[in-house]
Structure 1
Amino acid sequence: MSIPSFQSNGNLPEGIHLATWQEVENTLGFNERRKELLAGLKRACESLKLAGCKRIYIDGSFATSKEYPGDFDGCWQDDTVDFIYLKSIDPVLLDFTNKRAMQKAKYGGELFPASYQADIYGKTFVEFFQEDRNGNAKGIIAIDL
């Protein structure tokens, strides 16, 4: 397990790159802004783990070499999650209204169930996040909780 070096375009190489939380902190937490985002992501992961989530996927500018990303984007493996329990302990993670404003305010980023449809073509979020805006393949990071 390790996070590969960023490509010249700033993206990770194609594929899902499994990493430990420590590896994510070491690779992506290279300034105060990124450390703030990691702290928010960690809080969200704690709630997801309590509800039965086994893995999250990190994407967006946060999973690139961009020095100061605005937020993080990601998705969470939802096949083992108790949605009723998650709603009782952290309803914000299930609030996708208003462009996920509540998630962004609480955590600094947005997270979606991985198996949900992300676009009009039927791609799931975990598939959608593995392409850039031009349809080119790119890598994402997976963390087992």
Structure 2
Amino acid sequence: MRFNEYGLLDPGDYVMTFDKLRQSILVKGEENSLLPWDAYWRNRLVDNLEFCVRQLWACGIEEIYIDGSFVTDKYQPEDIDGYFVPRNEQEIFDGTLLAKLNQLDPYKCWGWNRHRFDEYGNLQLEMWYRYRVELFPHCTGVYSGITNEEGKNMKFDEFFRKDRDFGIEKGIVKLMKG
């Protein structure tokens, strides 16, 4: 794994456990790189991500992907973004999964409505405030709110696999139990 000339991972899914993620360039940075790198902050983000992902795993969700500035050569990413594929989509729409996740989370941070503004005036999820992690469900009828070049609202798997700045495909990380 390495960053390309755009500071992104080449297209594809990079399958990783949390141990492998902590040892990767996404946390430690590239060897011999002249770029400054905040490995301490990135490791804290991974700790928070693991806490949230373990809650998803406890609910039977196995397919989880992460992306965002964390999966780039940015010195200090704001957060980790990602999506998951629920086992049963109906649990998203009837609130069952949300209730299960909030029973597991001590801060009851799960939910996909943005209610609070950050210091830049952007609306954020409660999960972002507590963990600096945003994980969204990828299922029928759920979209990212971002449009593609054809003006169509993108699903999370499409949105996370394309860089908005360069307009090119990019790699993402698929998390696995380890």
The match for 1:97 is: 114
| Residue correspondence of structure 1 range 36-47 to structure 2 within 5 A | 36-47=44-55
Moved more, 111-120 or 39-48: 111-120
Q: Distance in 2 between matches of 1:140 and 1:93?
A: 22
Q: TM-score, normalised by structure 2?
A: 0.72
State the shift of 1:37 in Å: 0.6
State the shift of 1:86 in Å: 2.3
Root mean square deviation of aligned Cα: 1.9
State the shift of 1:144 in Å: 2.0
Tell me the percent identity.
29
State the shift of 1:34 in Å: 0.3
Q: Whose helix fraction is larger, Structure 1's or Structure 2's?
A: 1
Q: Segments of 4+ in structure 1 off by > 3 A? A: none
Deviation digits for residues 39-89 of structure 1, max 9, x if unmatched?
A: 110110111111111021110110112121111111112135761422433
- Greater Rg over alpha carbons, structure: 2
User: Where in structure 1 are there 5+ consecutive unaligned residues?
Assistant: none
| Residue correspondence of structure 1 range 24-35 to structure 2 within 5 A | 24-27=21-24, 28-30=26-28, 31-35=39-43
Other structure's SS at 2:124 match: helix
Amino acid in the other structure paired with 1:57:
Y
Q: TM-score, normalised by structure 1?
A: 0.86
User: Where in structure 2 are there 5+ consecutive unaligned residues?
Assistant: 29-38, 116-122
